[in-house]
């Protein structure tokens, strides 16, 4: 039986607990006395407690994040009621700030704040040797990355086969965006690139095909970025897929040249735009050269096969409905394959709270602490925008309607306004945002385009049918029977990337 159990509730099964693997890898002599058990937020806290207690541990370390804070609190409460003597240590972004305001930190024995890669092992060693720390809240000093042992060998065969494999080449961010916890993590620190590439080679040798780099600013250090890209290009094989988070206005020729060599389906860039309004950007201390950003998007779309996932945020201080809509339209014109419309969150510890009074920012009291309303966007409008974000994701980002969705604004109208109108109409019909069958979504989109937008039913039906076939579906939907002859479709969906990205490529 292990003395130490490391655990967390992942958002989904496919998400591996990257941080906990770092803790386990750096336990030193205690590593043989520890184990990692992962759960997800769909599992009941009492069932999770049963599994943990069956190990009869002395210490339980729990990773707490915005997505699992509520069930994690219930879990800790249950563990302490059943076994009061059990030592529980919590850590992670959610409990690293405002610790005195949280029930989970009251229930736990210890709270380690900050990067606990090395500190967790130190605390466990003290507890197991009878020298328990006297302070409940234990700040972790910023660790020397050269002293941290990589965790990649702890991805087991099930992880390789079924989970996202997370990688990091650096930590920290040079920017000070007030909505982001990374703005508190300065300076940027780099792992030894040659040692890291050695770990990547081991993962490739084990059959890993999809790598997700979690660096906030992958293209900050051009030398490192290029070295990593060259590494994967030299080893490219069918099915290899690598995800990076990029600074939008930084894409020098040294990177452009190598990026252009990757085939379709190999690279995805997550690009944080957040706002195109310069006054709003100033409010949140965000720096972005919009001209360079547009030029970089143009290059990526016209000269490379990169799949671009771009982010905008609803609810930023000073951003009106009209301002957000103008920014959304501007981003649509730049043609990223996906536009993630995120709702502003008040993450614990972030300086976005300084705008609460001036902009009348009102957030949910519960995770994920999303904005409810502000001075420029009342609650009803925010609800409309939440639905807009969800339906945009279903219709446009999903890749299921790459030909049909643009028909919503095919007459040169504002994409934002037309999709918002569709969103209002669709919600009035179905009164829900989840559990919508794809066939229902396709039929409702057909009805809207033909009845509300007055487009040719034959034209719309042909677009819907091509989208239907493009994604590998062969049965003709009944609502297309009057417009499409009975034929069998060929499965044309690319298999060179994850399904969502593959649909865009197809």
- CA atoms of 82 and 170, how far apart (whole Å): 41
pTM of the model: 0.93
Q: What percent of the chain has pLDDT over 90?
A: 89
142 Cβ contact list (under 8 Å, min separation 6):
114, 115
309 neighbors 268 (Cβ within 8 angstroms):
yes
> E-strand spans in 18-72?
34-40, 59-63
Confidence of residue 174 (pLDDT cuts 50, 70, 90): confident
Confidence of residue 487 (pLDDT cuts 50, 70, 90): low
Q: Which helix (H) or strand (E) holds 170?
A: strand 170-171
438 Cβ contact list (under 8 Å, min separation 6):
400
Distance of CA 374 to the CA centre of its chain: 25
pLDDT tens string 82-123:
999 999 999 999 999 999 999 999 999 999 999 999 999 999
pLDDT tens string 206-260:
999 999 999 988 998 999 999 999 999 999 999 999 999 999 999 999 999 999 9
DSSP 8-state code for residue 450? I
Q: Looking at the chain, how many residues does it have?
A: 506
- CA atoms of 341 and 388, how far apart (whole Å): 9
**Residue 186, pLDDT above cutoff 70:** no
- CA atoms of 41 and 50, how far apart (whole Å): 15
| pLDDT number for residue 411 | 85
The phi, psi pair for 173, rounded to 5°, reads -150, 135
pLDDT tens string 328-351:
999 999 999 999 999 999 999 999
| pLDDT number for residue 489 | 47
| pLDDT number for residue 496 | 59
pLDDT tens string 12-40:
999 999 999 999 999 999 999 999 999 99
| pLDDT number for residue 52 | 98
| pLDDT number for residue 486 | 66
Domains detected in the chain: 4-143 (3.40.50.2300), 164-374 (3.80.30.20), 378-506 (no CATH)
Q: What percent of the chain has pLDDT over 70?
A: 97
Least confident of 46-50, 366-370, 494-498: 494-498
301 neighbors 340 (Cβ within 8 angstroms):
no
Structure tokens at 8: 């967390």
| pLDDT number for residue 485 | 85
């Amino acid at each position: 039986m292990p003395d130490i159990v490391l655990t967390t509730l992942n958002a989904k099964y496919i998400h591996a607990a990257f941080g906990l693997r770092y803790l386990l890898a750096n336990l030193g002599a205690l590593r043989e006395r520890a184990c990692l058990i992962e759960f997800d937020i769909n599992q009941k806290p009492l069932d999770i407690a049963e599994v943990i207690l069956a190990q009869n541990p002395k210490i339980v370390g729990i990773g707490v994040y915005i997505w699992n804070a509520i069930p994690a609190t219930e879990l800790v409460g249950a563990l302490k009621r059943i076994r009061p003597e059990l030592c529980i240590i919590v850590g992670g972004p959610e409990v690293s700030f405002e610790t005195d305001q949280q029930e989970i930190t009251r229930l736990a024995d210890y709270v380690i704040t900050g990067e606990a890669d090395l500190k967790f092992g130190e605390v466990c060693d003290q507890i197991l040797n009878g020298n328990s720390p006297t302070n409940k809240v234990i700040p972790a000093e910023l660790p020397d990355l050269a002293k941290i042992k990589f965790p990649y060998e702890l991805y087991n065969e099930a992880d390789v086969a079924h989970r996202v494999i997370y990688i990091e080449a650096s930590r920290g961010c040079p920017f000070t965006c007030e909505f982001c916890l990374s703005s508190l993590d300065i300076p940027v620190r780099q792992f030894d690139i040659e040692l890291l590439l050695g770990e990547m080679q081991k993962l490739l040798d084990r059959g890993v095909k999809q790598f997700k780099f979690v660096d906030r600013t992958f293209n900050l250090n051009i030398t490192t970025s290029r070295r990593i890209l060259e590494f994967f290009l030299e080893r490219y094989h069918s099915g290899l897929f690598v995800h990076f988070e990029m600074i939008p206005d930084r894409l020098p020729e040294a990177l452009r040249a190598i990026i252009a060599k990757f085939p379709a389906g190999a690279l995805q860039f997550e690009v944080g735009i957040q706002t195109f309004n310069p006054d709003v950007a100033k409010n949140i201390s965000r720096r972005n050269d919009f001209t360079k950003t547009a030029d970089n998007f143009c290059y990526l779309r016209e000269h490379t096969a990169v799949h671009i996932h771009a982010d905008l945020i609803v609810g930023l201080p000073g951003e009106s409905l009209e301002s957000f809509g103008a920014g959304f339209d501007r981003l649509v014109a730049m043609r990223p394959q996906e536009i993630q419309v995120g709702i502003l969150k008040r993450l614990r510890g972030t300086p976005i709270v300084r705008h609460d009074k001036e902009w009348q920012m009102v957030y949910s009291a519960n995770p994920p602490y999303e904005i409810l309303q502000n001075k420029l966007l009342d609650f009803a409008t925010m609800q409309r925008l939440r639905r807009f974000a969800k339906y945009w994701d279903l219709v446009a980002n999903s890749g299921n309607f790459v030909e049909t969705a643009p028909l919503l604004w095919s007459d040169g109208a504002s994409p934002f306004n037309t999709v918002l109108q569709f969103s209002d109409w669709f919600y009035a019909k179905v009164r829900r945002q989840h559990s919508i069958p794809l066939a229902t979504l396709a039929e409702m989109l057909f009805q809207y385009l033909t009845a509300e937008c007055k487009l040719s039913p034959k034209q719309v039906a042909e677009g819907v049918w091509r989208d239907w076939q493009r994604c590998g579906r062969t049965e003709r939907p009944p609502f297309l029977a009057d417009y499409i002859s009975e034929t069998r479709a060929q499965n044309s969906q690319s298999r060179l990337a994850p399904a969502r990205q593959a649909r865009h490529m197809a």
